[in-house]
Structure 1
Amino acid sequence: MSQPSEWPLPPESSRFVVPRKIVAKLSHHHLSKGLYPIGLGYYKQAANHTMLRRTHDDYLMIYCLDGQGELTLDHESYEVKAGDMILLPRGIPHAYKASEKTPWTIYWIHFSGDQSEEFIDYLAVRDNKFIFPLGIHSRLTSDFESLLECRQSSYNISAFIHAANLLRQILTHIAQLQPLAKQQQVAHNFNLELIHSLMQARTHEQLDLNTLAEAANLSKFHFIKKYKELTGTTPINHFIHLKIERACHLLDITTKSINEISFAVGYEDAYYFSRIFKKIMGISPSQYRRMRMGTFPYQA
Protein backbone atom coordinates (compact mmCIF):
# COMPACT_ATOMS: atom_id res chain seq x y z
CA MET A 1 0.00 0.00 0.00
CA SER A 2 0.98 3.67 -0.20
CA GLN A 3 3.17 4.83 2.65
CA PRO A 4 0.96 5.75 5.64
CA SER A 5 1.59 8.87 7.65
CA GLU A 6 4.17 8.70 10.44
CA TRP A 7 2.60 11.74 12.06
CA PRO A 8 2.43 11.30 15.88
CA LEU A 9 -1.05 10.30 16.96
CA PRO A 10 -2.89 12.75 19.24
CA PRO A 11 -5.13 11.47 22.06
CA GLU A 12 -8.31 9.62 21.00
CA SER A 13 -6.90 8.93 17.53
CA SER A 14 -6.05 5.63 15.86
CA ARG A 15 -4.08 4.27 12.92
CA PHE A 16 -4.13 0.65 11.76
CA VAL A 17 -2.34 -1.06 8.88
CA VAL A 18 -3.92 -4.40 7.96
CA PRO A 19 -1.29 -7.17 8.32
CA ARG A 20 0.15 -8.33 4.99
CA LYS A 21 -0.93 -11.93 5.59
CA ILE A 22 -4.52 -10.75 6.04
CA VAL A 23 -4.31 -8.56 2.93
CA ALA A 24 -3.12 -11.57 0.93
CA LYS A 25 -6.08 -13.62 2.15
CA LEU A 26 -8.55 -10.81 1.46
CA SER A 27 -7.20 -10.39 -2.07
CA HIS A 28 -8.00 -14.05 -2.87
CA HIS A 29 -11.15 -14.73 -0.86
CA HIS A 30 -14.25 -14.67 -3.10
CA LEU A 31 -16.19 -12.60 -0.52
CA SER A 32 -13.59 -9.83 -0.27
CA LYS A 33 -11.25 -9.81 -3.27
CA GLY A 34 -13.35 -7.19 -5.05
CA LEU A 35 -12.84 -4.56 -2.37
CA TYR A 36 -10.98 -4.57 0.94
CA PRO A 37 -9.25 -2.14 3.35
CA ILE A 38 -5.47 -2.17 3.70
CA GLY A 39 -5.10 0.69 6.16
CA LEU A 40 -7.49 2.90 8.12
CA GLY A 41 -7.67 5.38 10.93
CA TYR A 42 -9.21 8.30 12.77
CA TYR A 43 -7.32 11.55 13.44
CA LYS A 44 -8.86 13.97 15.91
CA GLN A 45 -7.94 17.67 15.56
CA ALA A 46 -4.87 16.64 13.60
CA ALA A 47 -2.58 19.63 14.18
CA ASN A 48 0.54 19.61 11.94
CA HIS A 49 -0.76 16.62 9.95
CA THR A 50 0.83 16.60 6.48
CA MET A 51 1.38 14.03 3.73
CA LEU A 52 3.14 14.04 0.35
CA ARG A 53 2.89 11.04 -2.01
CA ARG A 54 4.57 11.13 -5.38
CA THR A 55 3.66 7.44 -5.82
CA HIS A 56 0.16 6.28 -4.95
CA ASP A 57 -0.49 2.59 -5.57
CA ASP A 58 -3.86 2.09 -3.88
CA TYR A 59 -7.15 3.98 -3.39
CA LEU A 60 -7.72 6.54 -0.64
CA MET A 61 -10.85 7.89 1.05
CA ILE A 62 -10.80 10.73 3.60
CA TYR A 63 -13.95 11.98 5.34
CA CYS A 64 -13.57 15.34 7.10
CA LEU A 65 -15.76 15.62 10.20
CA ASP A 66 -14.55 18.93 11.59
CA GLY A 67 -12.08 21.71 10.90
CA GLN A 68 -10.35 22.26 7.59
CA GLY A 69 -7.55 20.93 5.41
CA GLU A 70 -6.01 21.32 1.99
CA LEU A 71 -5.55 18.88 -0.88
CA THR A 72 -2.90 19.60 -3.53
CA LEU A 73 -2.97 17.96 -6.96
CA ASP A 74 -0.60 18.89 -9.78
CA HIS A 75 0.49 22.11 -8.04
CA GLU A 76 -3.12 23.27 -7.52
CA SER A 77 -4.62 23.40 -4.01
CA TYR A 78 -8.23 22.81 -2.95
CA GLU A 79 -9.89 23.58 0.37
CA VAL A 80 -11.33 20.65 2.34
CA LYS A 81 -13.95 21.46 4.95
CA ALA A 82 -16.22 19.62 7.37
CA GLY A 83 -18.57 17.31 5.49
CA ASP A 84 -16.25 16.88 2.50
CA MET A 85 -15.21 13.47 1.20
CA ILE A 86 -11.92 12.99 -0.67
CA LEU A 87 -11.71 10.00 -3.05
CA LEU A 88 -8.34 9.52 -4.74
CA PRO A 89 -7.85 6.78 -7.34
CA ARG A 90 -4.62 4.83 -7.68
CA GLY A 91 -1.80 6.58 -9.53
CA ILE A 92 -2.68 10.17 -8.53
CA PRO A 93 0.31 11.94 -6.89
CA HIS A 94 -0.97 14.19 -4.13
CA ALA A 95 -0.32 16.11 -0.95
CA TYR A 96 -2.63 17.13 1.85
CA LYS A 97 -2.40 18.86 5.19
CA ALA A 98 -4.51 20.04 8.09
CA SER A 99 -5.27 23.72 8.51
CA GLU A 100 -2.96 25.49 10.96
CA LYS A 101 -5.79 27.47 12.58
CA THR A 102 -8.55 24.82 12.52
CA PRO A 103 -6.93 21.40 11.99
CA TRP A 104 -9.23 18.80 10.57
CA THR A 105 -10.71 15.72 12.23
CA ILE A 106 -10.86 12.88 9.70
CA TYR A 107 -11.56 9.24 9.04
CA TRP A 108 -9.34 7.72 6.36
CA ILE A 109 -9.15 4.39 4.53
CA HIS A 110 -6.65 3.03 2.03
CA PHE A 111 -8.29 0.27 0.01
CA SER A 112 -7.73 -2.02 -2.95
CA GLY A 113 -9.39 -4.92 -4.79
CA ASP A 114 -10.50 -6.01 -8.24
CA GLN A 115 -13.59 -3.79 -8.12
CA SER A 116 -11.98 -0.64 -6.72
CA GLU A 117 -11.91 1.09 -10.10
CA GLU A 118 -15.55 0.13 -10.70
CA PHE A 119 -16.53 1.86 -7.45
CA ILE A 120 -14.51 4.93 -8.45
CA ASP A 121 -16.42 5.03 -11.76
CA TYR A 122 -19.74 4.38 -9.97
CA LEU A 123 -19.14 7.39 -7.73
CA ALA A 124 -18.26 9.51 -10.79
CA VAL A 125 -14.75 10.33 -9.59
CA ARG A 126 -13.20 12.24 -12.48
CA ASP A 127 -10.07 14.25 -13.26
CA ASN A 128 -9.94 17.36 -11.07
CA LYS A 129 -13.04 16.21 -9.20
CA PHE A 130 -11.84 14.33 -6.16
CA ILE A 131 -13.61 16.29 -3.39
CA PHE A 132 -17.32 15.70 -2.79
CA PRO A 133 -19.33 17.86 -0.35
CA LEU A 134 -21.57 15.29 1.35
CA GLY A 135 -22.29 16.97 4.68
CA ILE A 136 -22.07 15.38 8.12
CA HIS A 137 -24.11 12.19 8.43
CA SER A 138 -24.36 10.19 11.65
CA ARG A 139 -24.92 6.89 9.84
CA LEU A 140 -21.79 7.38 7.73
CA THR A 141 -19.79 8.18 10.87
CA SER A 142 -21.19 5.06 12.53
CA ASP A 143 -20.14 2.95 9.53
CA PHE A 144 -16.58 4.25 9.77
CA GLU A 145 -16.51 3.45 13.51
CA SER A 146 -17.74 -0.08 12.84
CA LEU A 147 -15.05 -0.52 10.21
CA LEU A 148 -12.37 0.62 12.65
CA GLU A 149 -13.36 -2.15 15.05
CA CYS A 150 -11.55 -4.65 12.82
CA ARG A 151 -8.24 -3.40 14.27
CA GLN A 152 -9.11 -5.20 17.51
CA SER A 153 -9.43 -8.56 15.74
CA SER A 154 -5.74 -9.29 15.17
CA TYR A 155 -5.60 -12.13 12.61
CA ASN A 156 -9.29 -13.13 12.61
CA ILE A 157 -10.01 -13.33 8.87
CA SER A 158 -13.81 -13.35 9.33
CA ALA A 159 -13.61 -9.93 10.99
CA PHE A 160 -11.69 -8.53 8.03
CA ILE A 161 -14.12 -10.05 5.51
CA HIS A 162 -16.84 -8.26 7.48
CA ALA A 163 -14.75 -5.07 7.30
CA ALA A 164 -14.41 -5.47 3.54
CA ASN A 165 -18.16 -5.59 3.17
CA LEU A 166 -18.59 -2.61 5.51
CA LEU A 167 -16.30 -0.70 3.15
CA ARG A 168 -18.55 -1.69 0.25
CA GLN A 169 -21.53 -0.44 2.27
CA ILE A 170 -19.82 2.91 2.91
CA LEU A 171 -19.09 3.47 -0.77
CA THR A 172 -22.61 2.57 -1.87
CA HIS A 173 -23.99 4.84 0.88
CA ILE A 174 -21.89 7.70 -0.50
CA ALA A 175 -23.56 7.16 -3.88
CA GLN A 176 -26.95 7.67 -2.19
CA LEU A 177 -25.80 10.85 -0.46
CA GLN A 178 -24.33 12.52 -3.56
CA PRO A 179 -27.66 13.59 -5.15
CA LEU A 180 -28.87 14.99 -1.81
CA ALA A 181 -25.67 16.99 -1.46
CA LYS A 182 -26.06 18.35 -4.99
CA GLN A 183 -29.63 19.34 -4.21
CA GLN A 184 -28.51 21.28 -1.14
CA GLN A 185 -25.85 23.09 -3.17
CA VAL A 186 -28.41 24.51 -5.59
CA ALA A 187 -31.33 24.84 -3.17
CA HIS A 188 -31.15 28.63 -3.37
CA ASN A 189 -32.26 28.68 -7.02
CA PHE A 190 -33.86 25.29 -7.68
CA ASN A 191 -36.58 23.96 -5.40
CA LEU A 192 -36.73 20.26 -6.31
CA GLU A 193 -39.34 19.59 -3.63
CA LEU A 194 -41.64 22.17 -5.24
CA ILE A 195 -41.23 20.54 -8.66
CA HIS A 196 -41.97 17.07 -7.28
CA SER A 197 -44.99 18.35 -5.36
CA LEU A 198 -46.34 19.86 -8.58
CA MET A 199 -45.82 16.55 -10.40
CA GLN A 200 -47.46 14.58 -7.59
CA ALA A 201 -50.51 16.85 -7.59
CA ARG A 202 -51.03 16.42 -11.34
CA THR A 203 -50.54 12.69 -11.91
CA HIS A 204 -54.16 12.60 -13.09
CA GLU A 205 -53.40 14.82 -16.08
CA GLN A 206 -50.67 15.80 -18.52
CA LEU A 207 -47.87 18.13 -17.46
CA ASP A 208 -45.52 19.68 -19.99
CA LEU A 209 -41.92 20.79 -19.58
CA ASN A 210 -42.75 24.46 -20.09
CA THR A 211 -45.00 24.44 -17.01
CA LEU A 212 -42.32 22.77 -14.88
CA ALA A 213 -39.59 25.10 -16.15
CA GLU A 214 -41.73 28.15 -15.37
CA ALA A 215 -42.26 26.86 -11.82
CA ALA A 216 -38.46 26.65 -11.45
CA ASN A 217 -37.93 30.09 -13.05
CA LEU A 218 -35.61 28.58 -15.66
CA SER A 219 -35.60 28.13 -19.39
CA LYS A 220 -36.70 24.69 -20.54
CA PHE A 221 -33.13 23.78 -21.55
CA HIS A 222 -31.58 24.83 -18.21
CA PHE A 223 -34.43 23.24 -16.25
CA ILE A 224 -33.90 19.83 -17.90
CA LYS A 225 -30.12 20.11 -17.45
CA LYS A 226 -30.36 21.09 -13.76
CA TYR A 227 -32.99 18.45 -13.00
CA LYS A 228 -30.91 15.68 -14.55
CA GLU A 229 -27.80 16.83 -12.63
CA LEU A 230 -29.72 16.49 -9.36
CA THR A 231 -31.68 13.30 -9.98
CA GLY A 232 -29.90 11.38 -12.74
CA THR A 233 -33.10 11.21 -14.80
CA THR A 234 -35.30 13.52 -16.84
CA PRO A 235 -38.34 15.32 -15.37
CA ILE A 236 -40.74 13.65 -17.79
CA ASN A 237 -39.34 10.20 -16.99
CA HIS A 238 -39.85 10.85 -13.27
CA PHE A 239 -43.38 12.14 -13.91
CA ILE A 240 -44.25 8.98 -15.86
CA HIS A 241 -42.94 6.83 -13.00
CA LEU A 242 -45.16 8.78 -10.58
CA LYS A 243 -48.14 8.05 -12.83
CA ILE A 244 -47.35 4.33 -12.89
CA GLU A 245 -46.92 4.30 -9.09
CA ARG A 246 -50.36 5.89 -8.83
CA ALA A 247 -51.77 3.33 -11.26
CA CYS A 248 -50.33 0.47 -9.15
CA HIS A 249 -51.97 1.98 -6.08
CA LEU A 250 -55.34 2.14 -7.85
CA LEU A 251 -54.96 -1.44 -9.09
CA ASP A 252 -54.25 -2.50 -5.49
CA ILE A 253 -57.10 -0.73 -3.71
CA THR A 254 -59.93 -0.47 -6.27
CA THR A 255 -61.86 -2.61 -8.70
CA LYS A 256 -61.72 0.04 -11.42
CA SER A 257 -61.24 -1.23 -14.95
CA ILE A 258 -57.94 -0.77 -16.80
CA ASN A 259 -59.64 1.88 -18.96
CA GLU A 260 -60.79 3.80 -15.88
CA ILE A 261 -57.36 3.64 -14.26
CA SER A 262 -55.72 4.74 -17.50
CA PHE A 263 -57.97 7.81 -17.56
CA ALA A 264 -57.37 8.44 -13.84
CA VAL A 265 -53.63 8.83 -14.43
CA GLY A 266 -53.98 11.07 -17.46
CA TYR A 267 -53.94 8.61 -20.37
CA GLU A 268 -56.95 8.67 -22.70
CA ASP A 269 -55.59 5.73 -24.70
CA ALA A 270 -55.71 2.61 -22.49
CA TYR A 271 -53.58 0.64 -24.95
CA TYR A 272 -50.81 3.27 -24.78
CA PHE A 273 -51.09 3.30 -20.97
CA SER A 274 -50.71 -0.49 -20.86
CA ARG A 275 -47.59 -0.30 -23.03
CA ILE A 276 -46.01 2.30 -20.70
CA PHE A 277 -47.02 0.29 -17.63
CA LYS A 278 -45.44 -2.90 -18.98
CA LYS A 279 -42.27 -1.08 -20.01
CA ILE A 280 -41.75 0.14 -16.44
CA MET A 281 -43.19 -2.74 -14.38
CA GLY A 282 -42.31 -5.65 -16.67
CA ILE A 283 -45.91 -6.93 -16.66
CA SER A 284 -49.23 -5.59 -17.94
CA PRO A 285 -51.78 -3.85 -15.65
CA SER A 286 -54.08 -6.88 -15.77
CA GLN A 287 -51.19 -9.22 -14.89
CA TYR A 288 -50.24 -6.91 -12.01
CA ARG A 289 -53.77 -7.13 -10.64
CA ARG A 290 -53.86 -10.91 -11.05
CA MET A 291 -50.51 -11.15 -9.27
CA ARG A 292 -51.97 -9.27 -6.31
CA MET A 293 -54.88 -11.70 -6.25
CA GLY A 294 -52.51 -14.68 -6.37
CA THR A 295 -53.59 -15.87 -9.80
CA PHE A 296 -50.46 -14.72 -11.62
CA PRO A 297 -46.92 -15.82 -10.65
CA TYR A 298 -44.67 -13.16 -9.12
CA GLN A 299 -41.96 -14.15 -11.60
CA ALA A 300 -43.22 -14.82 -15.08
Structure 2
Amino acid sequence: MDYSIFMAKMQAIRKREGFEGQRAIVLPKKILEVCGYTLPINSLYLTDIGFYPRAQFHYRERPSGISAHILIYCLEGKGWVELPSGNVNINPNEVLIIPAEMPHKYGADDKNPWTIYWAHFKGLQSAYFVNLLTKQFKSFVNDNIFLEERIKIFDMIYRNLESGYSLDNLFFASTSFQYFLTTLTFSDKFASAQHAVEKDVVDLSIEYMQDHLDTPIKLEALAASVNLSLSHYSNIFKRKTGYSPIIYFNHLKIQHACQYLQFTSLRINEISSKLGIEDPYYFSRLFTKVMGLSPVEYRHKKR
Protein backbone atom coordinates (compact mmCIF):
# COMPACT_ATOMS: atom_id res chain seq x y z
CA MET A 1 0.00 0.00 0.00
CA ASP A 2 1.17 3.52 -0.81
CA TYR A 3 0.96 5.20 2.61
CA SER A 4 1.54 8.70 1.18
CA ILE A 5 -1.64 8.32 -0.92
CA PHE A 6 -3.49 6.96 2.09
CA MET A 7 -2.40 9.89 4.24
CA ALA A 8 -3.37 12.35 1.52
CA LYS A 9 -6.85 10.88 1.51
CA MET A 10 -6.93 11.06 5.27
CA GLN A 11 -6.19 14.77 5.08
CA ALA A 12 -8.84 15.27 2.41
CA ILE A 13 -11.56 13.29 4.23
CA ARG A 14 -12.45 14.48 7.70
CA LYS A 15 -12.79 11.86 10.41
CA ARG A 16 -16.33 10.60 10.23
CA GLU A 17 -18.63 10.71 13.21
CA GLY A 18 -17.99 6.98 13.44
CA PHE A 19 -18.78 3.67 11.81
CA GLU A 20 -22.35 2.43 11.64
CA GLY A 21 -22.87 -0.22 14.28
CA GLN A 22 -19.73 0.70 16.19
CA ARG A 23 -19.36 0.11 19.92
CA ALA A 24 -16.69 1.31 22.30
CA ILE A 25 -16.16 1.62 26.05
CA VAL A 26 -13.36 3.65 27.63
CA LEU A 27 -13.04 2.89 31.34
CA PRO A 28 -12.84 6.02 33.53
CA LYS A 29 -9.51 6.96 35.10
CA LYS A 30 -10.79 6.37 38.63
CA ILE A 31 -12.05 2.90 37.71
CA LEU A 32 -8.65 2.06 36.20
CA GLU A 33 -7.02 3.11 39.45
CA VAL A 34 -9.29 0.64 41.26
CA CYS A 35 -8.30 -2.07 38.76
CA GLY A 36 -4.63 -1.28 39.30
CA TYR A 37 -4.64 -2.02 43.03
CA THR A 38 -7.44 -4.60 43.42
CA LEU A 39 -6.49 -8.28 43.52
CA PRO A 40 -6.80 -10.29 41.33
CA ILE A 41 -8.14 -7.77 38.80
CA ASN A 42 -4.75 -6.03 38.65
CA SER A 43 -3.19 -9.10 37.02
CA LEU A 44 -4.98 -8.33 33.73
CA TYR A 45 -7.62 -5.69 33.03
CA LEU A 46 -9.12 -3.77 30.12
CA THR A 47 -8.73 -0.03 29.65
CA ASP A 48 -10.69 0.21 26.37
CA ILE A 49 -12.76 -2.24 24.34
CA GLY A 50 -14.80 -2.00 21.16
CA PHE A 51 -16.08 -3.21 17.82
CA TYR A 52 -15.74 -1.31 14.52
CA PRO A 53 -17.63 -2.70 11.50
CA ARG A 54 -16.50 -1.75 7.99
CA ALA A 55 -14.29 0.93 9.52
CA GLN A 56 -13.51 2.98 6.43
CA PHE A 57 -10.69 5.53 6.89
CA HIS A 58 -9.88 4.10 10.32
CA TYR A 59 -6.30 5.13 11.10
CA ARG A 60 -4.07 5.48 14.15
CA GLU A 61 -0.51 6.76 14.41
CA ARG A 62 1.30 6.68 17.75
CA PRO A 63 5.04 7.48 17.43
CA SER A 64 5.72 6.48 21.05
CA GLY A 65 3.06 3.79 21.39
CA ILE A 66 0.67 3.82 24.33
CA SER A 67 0.92 2.59 27.91
CA ALA A 68 -1.44 -0.34 27.26
CA HIS A 69 -1.08 -3.40 25.04
CA ILE A 70 -3.28 -3.45 21.93
CA LEU A 71 -5.19 -6.38 20.46
CA ILE A 72 -7.00 -6.19 17.11
CA TYR A 73 -8.94 -9.17 15.79
CA CYS A 74 -9.84 -8.73 12.12
CA LEU A 75 -13.10 -10.46 11.29
CA GLU A 76 -13.69 -9.25 7.72
CA GLY A 77 -12.03 -6.93 5.21
CA LYS A 78 -8.39 -5.92 5.39
CA GLY A 79 -6.01 -3.58 7.16
CA TRP A 80 -2.33 -2.93 7.65
CA VAL A 81 0.13 -2.21 10.42
CA GLU A 82 3.52 -0.52 10.46
CA LEU A 83 5.80 -1.61 13.33
CA PRO A 84 9.54 -1.17 13.98
CA SER A 85 9.97 -4.72 12.66
CA GLY A 86 8.30 -3.85 9.35
CA ASN A 87 4.96 -3.47 7.56
CA VAL A 88 2.36 -6.23 7.54
CA ASN A 89 -1.00 -6.57 5.79
CA ILE A 90 -3.83 -7.89 7.96
CA ASN A 91 -6.49 -10.20 6.55
CA PRO A 92 -9.70 -11.79 7.85
CA ASN A 93 -9.28 -14.09 10.85
CA GLU A 94 -5.93 -12.59 11.77
CA VAL A 95 -4.95 -11.20 15.16
CA LEU A 96 -2.63 -8.23 15.69
CA ILE A 97 -0.81 -7.75 19.00
CA ILE A 98 1.06 -4.48 19.68
CA PRO A 99 3.02 -4.42 22.96
CA ALA A 100 2.81 -1.37 25.20
CA GLU A 101 5.13 1.55 24.32
CA MET A 102 5.86 0.14 20.84
CA PRO A 103 5.66 2.82 18.10
CA HIS A 104 3.07 1.94 15.48
CA LYS A 105 0.72 2.97 12.73
CA TYR A 106 -2.27 1.00 11.52
CA GLY A 107 -5.37 1.49 9.44
CA ALA A 108 -8.14 -0.01 7.38
CA ASP A 109 -7.63 -0.97 3.77
CA ASP A 110 -8.80 1.79 1.43
CA LYS A 111 -10.97 -0.44 -0.79
CA ASN A 112 -11.97 -3.22 1.60
CA PRO A 113 -11.93 -1.76 5.13
CA TRP A 114 -11.66 -4.13 8.03
CA THR A 115 -14.23 -5.12 10.62
CA ILE A 116 -12.45 -5.46 13.93
CA TYR A 117 -12.88 -6.40 17.55
CA TRP A 118 -10.27 -4.52 19.56
CA ALA A 119 -9.08 -4.03 23.12
CA HIS A 120 -6.42 -2.20 25.12
CA PHE A 121 -5.26 -3.94 28.28
CA LYS A 122 -2.83 -3.64 31.19
CA GLY A 123 -1.97 -5.50 34.37
CA LEU A 124 0.82 -7.27 36.19
CA GLN A 125 0.45 -10.35 33.96
CA SER A 126 -0.38 -8.50 30.73
CA ALA A 127 3.20 -8.59 29.40
CA TYR A 128 3.26 -12.35 30.05
CA PHE A 129 0.15 -12.85 27.90
CA VAL A 130 1.57 -10.63 25.15
CA ASN A 131 4.80 -12.64 25.20
CA LEU A 132 2.83 -15.89 25.17
CA LEU A 133 0.75 -14.77 22.18
CA THR A 134 3.66 -13.46 20.13
CA LYS A 135 5.75 -16.57 20.85
CA GLN A 136 2.87 -18.80 19.84
CA PHE A 137 2.31 -16.68 16.73
CA LYS A 138 6.06 -16.23 16.12
CA SER A 139 5.12 -12.71 15.01
CA PHE A 140 2.85 -9.81 15.98
CA VAL A 141 0.26 -10.88 13.38
CA ASN A 142 -1.02 -14.40 12.80
CA ASP A 143 -3.95 -16.49 11.61
CA ASN A 144 -6.59 -17.53 14.09
CA ILE A 145 -9.52 -19.60 12.91
CA PHE A 146 -12.93 -17.99 13.29
CA LEU A 147 -14.95 -19.46 16.14
CA GLU A 148 -18.36 -18.03 16.97
CA GLU A 149 -17.92 -19.08 20.60
CA ARG A 150 -14.87 -16.81 20.90
CA ILE A 151 -16.83 -13.82 19.61
CA LYS A 152 -19.53 -14.60 22.15
CA ILE A 153 -16.92 -14.30 24.92
CA PHE A 154 -15.86 -10.88 23.62
CA ASP A 155 -19.48 -9.72 23.36
CA MET A 156 -20.16 -11.05 26.85
CA ILE A 157 -17.23 -9.02 28.23
CA TYR A 158 -18.50 -5.91 26.47
CA ARG A 159 -22.08 -6.33 27.69
CA ASN A 160 -20.82 -6.92 31.21
CA LEU A 161 -18.82 -3.66 31.25
CA GLU A 162 -21.71 -1.89 29.58
CA SER A 163 -23.80 -2.68 32.65
CA GLY A 164 -21.41 -0.74 34.91
CA TYR A 165 -18.15 -0.85 36.86
CA SER A 166 -18.96 -2.83 39.98
CA LEU A 167 -16.13 -4.94 41.38
CA ASP A 168 -18.09 -8.02 40.31
CA ASN A 169 -18.24 -6.74 36.73
CA LEU A 170 -14.57 -5.74 36.69
CA PHE A 171 -13.52 -9.12 38.07
CA PHE A 172 -15.71 -10.93 35.55
CA ALA A 173 -14.34 -8.86 32.65
CA SER A 174 -10.76 -9.42 33.81
CA THR A 175 -10.99 -13.19 34.10
CA SER A 176 -13.10 -13.51 30.93
CA PHE A 177 -10.60 -11.48 28.92
CA GLN A 178 -7.81 -13.69 30.22
CA TYR A 179 -9.82 -16.66 28.94
CA PHE A 180 -10.37 -14.86 25.61
CA LEU A 181 -6.60 -14.41 25.19
CA THR A 182 -6.10 -18.06 26.07
CA THR A 183 -8.51 -19.11 23.31
CA LEU A 184 -6.34 -17.19 20.85
CA THR A 185 -3.12 -18.72 22.14
CA PHE A 186 -4.40 -22.30 22.15
CA SER A 187 -7.08 -22.13 19.48
CA ASP A 188 -6.98 -25.86 18.74
CA LYS A 189 -7.75 -26.66 22.38
CA PHE A 190 -10.58 -24.19 22.67
CA ALA A 191 -14.09 -25.47 23.31
CA SER A 192 -17.01 -23.59 24.81
CA ALA A 193 -19.90 -24.48 27.06
CA GLN A 194 -22.93 -22.27 27.55
CA HIS A 195 -24.66 -22.06 30.92
CA ALA A 196 -27.90 -20.22 31.48
CA VAL A 197 -27.82 -18.02 34.57
CA GLU A 198 -30.96 -16.83 36.26
CA LYS A 199 -30.98 -13.06 36.79
CA ASP A 200 -31.36 -11.69 40.30
CA VAL A 201 -33.08 -8.45 41.35
CA VAL A 202 -29.87 -6.42 40.95
CA ASP A 203 -29.42 -7.67 37.37
CA LEU A 204 -33.05 -6.81 36.66
CA SER A 205 -32.59 -3.37 38.22
CA ILE A 206 -29.55 -2.67 36.04
CA GLU A 207 -31.55 -3.67 32.96
CA TYR A 208 -34.25 -1.24 34.09
CA MET A 209 -31.60 1.49 34.42
CA GLN A 210 -30.30 0.78 30.91
CA ASP A 211 -33.81 1.03 29.50
CA HIS A 212 -34.36 4.42 31.21
CA LEU A 213 -31.08 6.23 30.66
CA ASP A 214 -32.97 9.12 29.10
CA THR A 215 -34.99 9.81 32.26
CA PRO A 216 -34.14 11.22 35.73
CA ILE A 217 -35.18 8.20 37.83
CA LYS A 218 -35.34 8.53 41.61
CA LEU A 219 -34.20 5.88 44.06
CA GLU A 220 -37.80 5.11 45.03
CA ALA A 221 -38.68 4.25 41.43
CA LEU A 222 -35.66 1.95 41.10
CA ALA A 223 -36.65 0.06 44.24
CA ALA A 224 -40.27 -0.15 43.08
CA SER A 225 -39.17 -1.57 39.70
CA VAL A 226 -38.03 -4.77 41.47
CA ASN A 227 -40.71 -4.71 44.19
CA LEU A 228 -38.35 -4.10 47.11
CA SER A 229 -38.41 -1.66 50.00
CA LEU A 230 -36.07 1.30 49.66
CA SER A 231 -33.65 0.23 52.41
CA HIS A 232 -33.54 -3.45 51.41
CA TYR A 233 -33.02 -2.57 47.74
CA SER A 234 -30.20 -0.12 48.51
CA ASN A 235 -28.46 -2.62 50.76
CA ILE A 236 -28.46 -5.57 48.37
CA PHE A 237 -27.57 -3.39 45.39
CA LYS A 238 -24.51 -1.92 47.12
CA ARG A 239 -23.53 -5.30 48.55
CA LYS A 240 -23.36 -6.79 45.04
CA THR A 241 -22.01 -3.86 43.00
CA GLY A 242 -20.03 -1.84 45.55
CA TYR A 243 -21.97 1.31 44.60
CA SER A 244 -25.24 2.93 45.58
CA PRO A 245 -27.98 2.59 42.91
CA ILE A 246 -27.90 6.28 41.97
CA ILE A 247 -24.10 6.38 41.60
CA TYR A 248 -24.29 3.24 39.49
CA PHE A 249 -27.05 4.76 37.36
CA ASN A 250 -24.92 7.87 36.85
CA HIS A 251 -21.97 5.71 35.74
CA LEU A 252 -24.20 4.16 33.07
CA LYS A 253 -25.30 7.61 31.92
CA ILE A 254 -21.70 8.81 31.66
CA GLN A 255 -20.74 5.66 29.77
CA HIS A 256 -23.35 6.53 27.14
CA ALA A 257 -22.24 10.17 27.20
CA CYS A 258 -18.77 8.98 26.17
CA GLN A 259 -20.32 7.26 23.15
CA TYR A 260 -22.17 10.45 22.15
CA LEU A 261 -19.02 12.57 22.56
CA GLN A 262 -16.83 10.20 20.60
CA PHE A 263 -19.16 9.19 17.80
CA THR A 264 -21.55 12.12 17.25
CA SER A 265 -21.42 15.90 16.87
CA LEU A 266 -24.17 16.53 19.44
CA ARG A 267 -23.61 19.56 21.65
CA ILE A 268 -23.06 19.13 25.38
CA ASN A 269 -26.55 20.37 26.28
CA GLU A 270 -28.07 17.98 23.71
CA ILE A 271 -26.21 15.02 25.20
CA SER A 272 -27.24 16.09 28.69
CA SER A 273 -30.87 16.22 27.57
CA LYS A 274 -30.67 12.78 25.94
CA LEU A 275 -29.52 11.39 29.27
CA GLY A 276 -32.36 12.94 31.24
CA ILE A 277 -30.18 15.60 32.87
CA GLU A 278 -31.80 19.01 32.45
CA ASP A 279 -28.86 21.08 33.73
CA PRO A 280 -25.90 20.79 31.31
CA TYR A 281 -23.59 22.37 33.90
CA TYR A 282 -24.45 19.64 36.39
CA PHE A 283 -23.90 17.08 33.62
CA SER A 284 -20.44 18.53 32.91
CA ARG A 285 -19.50 18.42 36.59
CA LEU A 286 -20.74 14.84 36.89
CA PHE A 287 -18.88 13.78 33.75
CA THR A 288 -15.65 15.38 35.00
CA LYS A 289 -16.01 13.70 38.39
CA VAL A 290 -16.47 10.25 36.84
CA MET A 291 -14.07 10.43 33.87
CA GLY A 292 -11.39 12.74 35.28
CA LEU A 293 -11.72 15.27 32.44
CA SER A 294 -14.46 17.52 31.08
CA PRO A 295 -16.77 16.50 28.21
CA VAL A 296 -15.00 18.95 25.88
CA GLU A 297 -11.58 17.60 26.86
CA TYR A 298 -12.78 14.03 26.40
CA ARG A 299 -14.13 14.74 22.91
CA HIS A 300 -10.92 16.53 21.91
CA LYS A 301 -8.78 13.65 23.22
CA LYS A 302 -10.74 10.98 21.39
CA ARG A 303 -10.76 12.85 18.10
Query: Normalising by structure 2, what TM-score?
Result: 0.54
1 CA distance for matches of 2:118 and 2:186?
A: 20
Once the two structures are superposed, the pairs formed by residues 173-184 of structure 1 within 5 Å of their partners are 173-177=183-187
Unaligned regions of 5+ residues in structure 2, if any? Answer: 1-14, 191-303
Name 1:121's counterpart in structure 2. Answer: 131
Closer/same/farther in 2, CA of residues 179 and 52 from structure 1, 3 Å limit? farther
Shift, 1:157, TM fit:
2.6
Name 1:112's counterpart in structure 2. Answer: 122
SS at match of 1:27: helix
Name 1:82's counterpart in structure 2. Answer: 92
1 CA distance for matches of 2:16 and 2:62?
A: 14
Identical counterparts, % of pairs: 25
SS at match of 1:51: strand
Shift, 1:168, TM fit:
0.4
Are residues 1:40 and 2:56 paired? no
Name 1:206's counterpart in structure 2. Answer: none
2 CA distance for matches of 1:7 and 1:112?
A: 29
Shift, 1:169, TM fit:
0.5
Once the two structures are superposed, the pairs formed by residues 1-300 of structure 1 within 5 Å of their partners are 8-56=17-65, 57-74=67-84, 76-125=86-135, 129-177=139-187
SS at match of 1:102: coil
2 CA distance for matches of 1:32 and 1:59?
A: 16
Higher relative contact order (CA 8 A, sep 6+): 2
> 1:17-73: CA deviations, max 9, x gaps?
011111111111112110000001000000010000112221010000000000111
Name 1:284's counterpart in structure 2. Answer: none
Unaligned regions of 5+ residues in structure 1, if any? Answer: 1-5, 181-300
Shift, 1:7, TM fit:
6.1
2 CA distance for matches of 1:171 and 1:75?
A: 23
SS at match of 2:61: strand
Shift, 1:16, TM fit:
1.1
Highest CA radius of gyration, 1 or 2? 1
Name 1:272's counterpart in structure 2. Answer: none
Query: Normalising by structure 1, what TM-score?
Result: 0.55
2 CA distance for matches of 1:120 and 1:130?
A: 9
> 1:94-145: CA deviations, max 9, x gaps?
0101011110000000000000111122224499810011021111111111
CA contact (8 A) 2:73 2:94 kept: yes
- Paired letter, 1:161: F
SS at match of 2:146: coil
CA contact (8 A) 2:53 2:115 kept: yes
Moved more, 125-134 or 85-94: 125-134
Shift, 1:156, TM fit:
2.1
CA RMSD of aligned residues (A): 2.2
